[in-house]
Amino acid sequence: MPKATFRGTRIAHIGIAVDALDRVLPFYRDLLALPEEPLDDADGARIAGFRAGDALVELLEAPPERPDSPIAKFIAKRGPGIHHICFAVDDLNATLERCRREGIKLIDDVPRIGAEGKRIAFLHPSSTAGVLIELTEH
Ligand code: ZN
C-alpha cells in the first residue's frame, strides 16, 4: 500500500552520465559546493549523489568492467551528458497507469527498487520528447 503523501510532482534527481567520476566530481562538490549524499550503485553504474535543494544530482559512471550497462551504452552512443530526469509523484501506481492508458511507452511495466531504495519505473524517451523519464515516490 503506497503511503498517502500529497506533495505534488517534483524533480527528485537528475542523472548525468559521466565517463570518469573522479574527474567530474570536484566540479559539483568543490566549485558548485553541493553536499555529497552517499548512494548505492545501481544498474551497473557507480553513483555519486549531491544535494541541490529538494533534488539530487546523480553522477552515473559505468565502470570499465561493465561495458554492457545502460550507462556505458548511453555514453558509447551519445557521449556524456544528462541521462534522465526523475520525478517524484504522489502515487506511482496511478501515474504509471495514466501513462499506460495514454499510450506512453513504459520501460518498466511494474515498479522496481532503484538506487535510493525507493520504487521506481522508467518511461521510454520515444514517448516523452526524447527525455528518459524516471518516476518515483516521495
Ligand atoms: Zn535515477
Cell of 65: 568492467
Question: How confident is the model over 4-62, as pLDDT tens digits?
Answer: 558 999 999 999 999 999 999 999 999 999 999 998 877 778 999 999 999 999 999 98
How open is the CA angle 116-14-53, to the nearest 5 degrees?
80
**pLDDT, position 116:** 73
Lay out the sheet containing 55-61: strands in order across: 36-37, 46-52, 55-61, 10-18, 81-89, 133-137, 119-123, 112-113
Q: How far is CA 51 from the centre of its chain?
A: 14
- 12 CA → ligand 1 middle, Å: 8
H or E stretch at 77? helix 70-78
Average pLDDT over residues 79-104: 97
Under DSSP, is residue 30 helix (H, G, I), strand (E, B) or coil?
helix
| Model confidence at 114: pLDDT above 90 | no
114 CA to centre of ligand 1 in angstroms = 7
Instruction: Return mean pLDDT, the chain.
Output: 92
Confidence of residue 100 (pLDDT cuts 50, 70, 90): very high
Q: How far is the CA of 49 from the centre of ligand 1 (A)?
A: 10
Ligand 1 centre distance from Cα of residue 102 (Å) = 23
**Predicted TM-score (pTM) of this structure:** 0.90
d(CA 87, ligand 1 centre) in Å: 9
Centre of ligand 1 to C-alpha 45, Å, is 11
Question: Of 48, 44, 83, whose CA–CA distance to 67 is shortest?
Answer: 44
